[in-house]
Amino acid sequence: MLNIKVLGPGCNNCHMVEEAARAAVAAMGVEAEFEKVTDREQFAKYGLLFTPGLVINEKLVAAGRIPQEIEVQAWIANALAVA
């Protein structure tokens, strides 16, 4: 199962990143566990300088922007291929 984390203070952009990730997961028919990380100290653990951030299986895949659903699908496919 995938582990997906949305890093950010809980702003509107953070919600948009989560929506894109959830849509990608649903479109691909895979299972994923979602987590919201709002602790700024945790951001540094992933090397995140600008929010929002998206982490898939402990790898930062997007930072400081809202990715398109198709991008998230590609990252999920890559994460599944590595797992």
Q: Give the residue carrying structure tokens 């945790």.
A: 42
The C-alpha angle 10, 64, 19, rounded to 5 degrees, equals 50
Give residue limits of the domains in the chain: 2-82
Task: Indicate the CATH number for domain 2-82.
Answer: 3.40.30.10
Which residues are the active-site residues?
11, 14
What residues have CB less than 8 Å from 24, skipping those under 6 apart? 69, 70, 72, 73, 76
β partners of residue 73: none
pLDDT at 11: 94
pLDDT in tens, 38-70: 999 999 999 999 999 999 999 999 999 999 999
pTM over the 0.85 mark: yes
Hunting for tokens 């402990």 — which residue is that? Answer: 58
CA distance 12 to 33: 21
- d(C-alpha 67, C-alpha 54), whole Å: 9
